[in-house]
Amino acid sequence: MKAYRVGGCVRDALLGEARRNSGDLDAALETDRDWVVVGATPQQMIELGYRPVGKDFPVFLHPDTHEEYALARTERKTAPGYKGFEPHAAPDVTLEQDLARRDLTINAMALDEDGTLIDPFGGQRDLEAGVLRHVSPAFVEDPVRILRLARFAARFPEFKVAPETADLMRSMVRNGEADALVPERVMQEISRGLMERKPSRMLNVLVSSGLIDRLYAELEDLGPTSAALDRAAQRDLLLPVRFAVLASAARTPRAVADLLGKLRVQQDAAQLARLLVELREQLANAKTSTAIVDVLERADAFRRPERFELLLQAYETASEDSAERFRRALRAAAEVDAGALASLHRNDPGEIPRAVRQARVVAVGGELHGPAGLDQPRD
């Protein structure tokens, strides 16, 4: 029985050590590490105090560090999609066999207990050259790997996709392998990619592979949207805002609804995406106090000011237009005492909404234009 550090912690340690040129690989290792165990059975792991947690294949938590230890395994493709695999974990599965099932060469490296690098597929070479390359032809068996590669392109924007890997991804889309993608897994990878350093690189990979055109053709205006997503990353905006910016590549509310029907989007992000596409023209064109109050009401800004602020962030990022007038307007309109107005019109309850709205329009006009520039409603 022997344990090896594997995957992302090795990749990132090598990358960090190379950037610092410190020569101290072990110091560069992340505290959150993954391990592969060769030569053990599940029963042996349990007897040693490891706690089983894997559902689809044997994974255990270390009794002290709580780090994940997975038994070395191979996989056999049995059905389309990322769940269509039959894992085989046994003491005779070698480390190289386990590494061979991984997606990219930079993720298929291991370190033994002495710190010796095991790199059967040239991952260190590709890491130094800045190349994202598939490990083996088995890459085609899991279409999620297209999304994972796209996410890594966003995380490491200086890396290039190997030409043969780009060709392989295009063939996977063209031959229909990508059609087996499930909404939950797609959204998981897209969400992670949106939160990386340069999300436009993720979109570039998904477009060049043909995946966007085949499965998510609702996303049409990807040129300006790609640039907007990079601005969102630079501003460190929240995921719902970034997703709304992505969804703004859809041209109509119907297209957004169709896109959301293909993904499993969290409610806050879905609502924000719908609002941005429904209201972006009004946001752009609202200059008068009446038009601005219309936007505040349609966006439910008085009841949900936090969501409205996220909407404004998404709009500003997507359009490069300031939305500060809406923030000022909301502050002014929120000062209107709706309760007092209701008391004034208690004998005519139907008049209350009109009176509150008129007072808000007046307050917004005073805030944005001064007393001489009020845009009073004509009722």
368's CB contacts (< 8 A; 6+ apart) are: 289, 292, 325, 328, 329, 332
Is the model's pLDDT at 19 over the cut of 50? yes
pLDDT tens digits for range 41-56:
999 999 999 999 977 6
139 domain-assigned: no
| pTM for the full predicted model | 0.87
188 domain-assigned: no
16's CB contacts (< 8 A; 6+ apart) are: 28
87 domain-assigned: yes
116's CB contacts (< 8 A; 6+ apart) are: none
153 domain-assigned: no
2 domain-assigned: yes
121 domain-assigned: yes
pLDDT at 87: 73
81 domain-assigned: yes
319 domain-assigned: no
pLDDT tens digits for range 157-216:
999 999 999 999 999 999 999 999 999 999 999 999 999 999 999 999 999 999 999 999
Q: Is 220 exposed, middle or buried (0-12, 13-18, 19+ CB in 10 A)?
A: middle
Total domains present in the chain = 1
Confidence of residue 232 (pLDDT cuts 50, 70, 90): very high
**Crossing angle of helices 267-285 and 253-262, rounded to 10°:** 170
Indicate which CATH number applies to the domain containing 37: 3.30.460.10
Range of 19's domain?
1-129
Cα–Cα dist 299/33, whole Å: 44
